C-alpha cells in the first residue's frame, strides 16, 4: 500500500500510443527477459540493475520508466534517465522487447523522456552512450536531435559514441 502511494508521486508521461510510468515489481519478469535477450544477463544481474535503476528516483530525482502500450497496458520496454555508478552524467537509455522493436515505440518514448530531461535537468545536461557498431541506437540519438560530443568521447575508447541532448557545453 505504501509503495503505491510513493509511486503515485512519480511522474507519468503519456504520448500518443504509450504510457511511461514508474516500475513496479510486477514489471521485473519482462525486465529480466529483455535484459537476457539484449545483454545475456542472468536473473540476478537483471534484479540488481532493476533495483539500481528504480532507486534512481529516490537518489537523483530521475530513473527508470516502464513503457506500456496505452491501449492494453502491455509492457513494450523501458527507458532510463539515470546514472550508473561510474557515469559522469545522466544517461538517456532504453531497451524494448523483441516484439516491440521497429514500430517507433523507442523514438516515441525516448522523445518524451528527452523532453522530461530538458525540463528536469536542462539542455545539454544528459547524454546517451552508444557503441559505434550500434547503428540503430546511433540513428535514434540523431533523430532525437542529439549531437556527438567529441570532448566527452575522448574519455572513452574509440568504440564509444557520446550523444548530447541539447547544446554541447564548452
User: What's the pLDDT score for residue 167?
Assistant: 63
Q: How confident is the prediction for the chain on average, in pLDDT?
A: 93
Residue 92 CB neighbour total at 10 angstroms: 24
Residue 64 CB neighbour total at 10 angstroms: 24
The residues spanned by each domain of the chain are: 2-123
**pLDDT tens across 44-93, in order?**
999 999 999 999 999 999 999 999 999 999 999 999 999 987 888 999 99
CATH class of the 2-123 domain in this structure: alpha beta
**pLDDT tens across 8-47, in order?**
889 999 999 999 999 999 999 999 999 999 999 999 999 9
- Nearest CA-CA partner of 33 in 23, 43, 24: 43
Amino acid at each position: 500500500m505504501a509503495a503505491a502511494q510513493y509511486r503515485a508521486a512519480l511522474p507519468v508521461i503519456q504520448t500518443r500510443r504509450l504510457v511511461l510510468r514508474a516500475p513496479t515489481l510486477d514489471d521485473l519478469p519482462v525486465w529480466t527477459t529483455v535484459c537476457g535477450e539484449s545483454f545475456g544477463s542472468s536473473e540476478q544481474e537483471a534484479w540488481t540493475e532493476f533495483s539500481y535503476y528504480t532507486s534512481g528516483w529516490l537518489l537523483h530525482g530521475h530513473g527508470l520508466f516502464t513503457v506500456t502500450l496505452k491501449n492494453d497496458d502491455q509492457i513494450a520496454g523501458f527507458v532510463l534517465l539515470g546514472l550508473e555508478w561510474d557515469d559522469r552524467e545522466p544517461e538517456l537509455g532504453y531497451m524494448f522487447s523483441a516484439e516491440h522493436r521497429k514500430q517507433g515505440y523507442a523514438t516515441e518514448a525516448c522523445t518524451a523522456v528527452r523532453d522530461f530531461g530538458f525540463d528536469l535537468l536542462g539542455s545539454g545536461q544528459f547524454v546517451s552512450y552508444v557503441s559505434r557498431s550500434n547503428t540503430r541506437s546511433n540513428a535514434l540519438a540523431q533523430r532525437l536531435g542529439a549531437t556527438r560530443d567529441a570532448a566527452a568521447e575522448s574519455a572513452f575508447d574509440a568504440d564509444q559514441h557520446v550523444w548530447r541532448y541539447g547544446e554541447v557545453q564548452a
